Structure 1
């Protein structure tokens, strides 16, 4: 498979499109969503054997992956200094000597920096000299069990502090009980509270039990105006997986075919190696096409992924693997 052209920079294929908007809830379309587990498993099992990228092509795909990372810190021991270091890494994600050795001269940053609300203003200040957006997790992240009005206030506070993207958590109960109207109404209110900030709907796929639930929840959130659908908070027992991703990508494709609207996709949690990143990129390319390989439609929610990608790029340049501590986060 050939590398994406101009792998980490805007291309002629990145044309602007109208933002997804709230549309009426179509319960018949929700009920029609299916997931054939055996077919999904066969499709995913065939992926590594049919697609292999090596050498220059692999380096190009990995640089593309870097540009699609939401570089994230969501730990209880986060500090302003840790967030500032993360922002510095987002602005210069790959060592300059490696880029020079590869002859890569285009601008390269991560897709965004993702933090708790407490550190939104810190990240906004640290990234003021860049075009990198700040994403804030919200709505009682990660459990999503805060009072609804507080969730809306949290969104408003993060937007006011400068967050340009909001990662919201849906109420899993609505999915588990099949209350699609409640999920739709909740998501509509989140979308409206975000205003101009783009909203990523976290489905917590490890908690909602079945692939059919994943398909239905994906469709409901897109009808309610989600700009992205996202697998996980990273705090569940099971986070992003390729089978779940296939279900969500096909829901996005169906929604696009029906409405003409573009909705982004974000796998999060457990995507930690360069090999993982390549599998996701290839799956997205095969299911949705080249346009979805840009950071306005695809993101990885990750923290350790960047270090492994940088190690792989150093191996490409030098022929040797390096220790992770040669690729610090800031």
Structure 2
């Protein structure tokens, strides 16, 4: 149905001159089917049966006059089951729901901490349904809480990956200046995407080679490699002949004075294969575990509680006394 047909339908149904079509229902059915089709083949029948169960429950709720599930709720639940099925098949090597255990569920929930509560609700619904249908013997989500484990649980870069990225952004002239700037400031100075997006030329001090980043209380001194990348980005900005005060200027913003869009900044590092948040968290994790977390919070303009999540319970083996010396 095109835009004109939808407008006519709204007009005639709104004036009681025609009955509404089933366009919305057919579109919703298509969206549900696409999510089911994306589930690995061996795990798909159970998800398909779960979708049918949710639709039957919705019809019963409508007849009973209670609040039925909306199309968006059903589609979100199927999307979560699709992601879990893909995770089990690719990451855990499991092709049967009966093989799922609590460790698989916990690892899946840890992959997206912010969505833990919503995911856990859907997983509980699915595994209760699967147990009633004898698809699984036990509910692996039972006993798990919506509150995730304390501390930082995200992914970080290894030392070798950091070296590769450092060489990429400091030695390859083909890399876009915006990628190199965001990458270097995140890798060495823990800069967020927003801090780089809002960075203006007035924040730079060429003589002291420092810059203001976000809400940090003090200027950040830049090392020679970072300053060289910044100068390259400024040259790219100068070539655009813009009056925009920001350092990162795009084709859409060069004629105005606003910062680059959030969507643009979030995709700057797509070519390197690592998101800005992952690179920044790597730096914060290293600083907090090698320095006083309160000093890191003061330097970054963060609350002391915010840095404590990066404080792991791991003790560097180099700081422990030699085991052989202790046994002598």
TM-score grouping bracket, smaller chain normalisation: under 0.3
Structure with greater proportional helix content: 2
The structure showing larger relative contact order (alpha-carbon pairs under 8 Å, at least 6 residues apart) is 1
Q: Which has the larger radius of gyration?
A: 2
TM superposition score normalised by structure 1? 0.21
